[in-house]
Amino acid sequence: MIWKKGDLLIVALVLAAALVLWGLKALPAAAGSRVLVIEQDGKLLHELPLAEDRSEVFVFEFSRGEASVEIENGRVRMLPISKELCPQGICSHVGWIEHPGDAIVCLPNRLVLTIVGGDEAEMLDGVTW
């Protein structure tokens, strides 16, 4: 396959756009007015402000065990969960979340952690109208 100048230009523009979006996502989140919303079965359990100086671990009791959520330096993560409580443990493999719109979902336990608030320009949305 022979590459033309136009082909190379398009590839370069797509790569540049991808790098810019990746760079924006990698920037640390502003500590502004971000809030962690914790819901289970569609019911609000907690709304916790995400401050840079906050460091806590919350434990949630379920019929088959418990799950722990760690908040540290304005970031949130689900700590490893037993296989009895969450067979695949996908929620704990998500890692740290810190940007508005980021979420951790534990389907077997119907637990959803979502970060809301902050600057609207900071939120990277996958849906555009």
Tens of pLDDT along 113-122? 999 986 554 4
Residue ranges making up the domain that contains 112: 35-122
Q: Count how many residues are written for the chain.
A: 129
Tens of pLDDT along 19-50? 888 776 666 555 457 899 999 888 998 898 88
DSSP states of the chain: -PPPHHHHHHHHHHHHHHHHHHHHHHSPPP-TT-EEEEEETTEEEEEEE--TT-EEEEEEEETTEEEEEEEETTEEEEPP--TTT-SS-HHHHS--B-STT-EEEEGGGTEEEEEE-S-GGG---S---
Tens of pLDDT along 52-76? 788 899 898 888 888 899 999 889 9
Assess if residue 101 is contained within a domain: yes
CATH number of the domain that 77 lies in?
A: 2.60.320.10
Assess if residue 7 is contained within a domain: no
Assess if residue 102 is contained within a domain: yes
Assess if residue 46 is contained within a domain: yes
Assess if residue 84 is contained within a domain: yes
Assess if residue 96 is contained within a domain: yes
- Our count of domains for the chain comes to 1
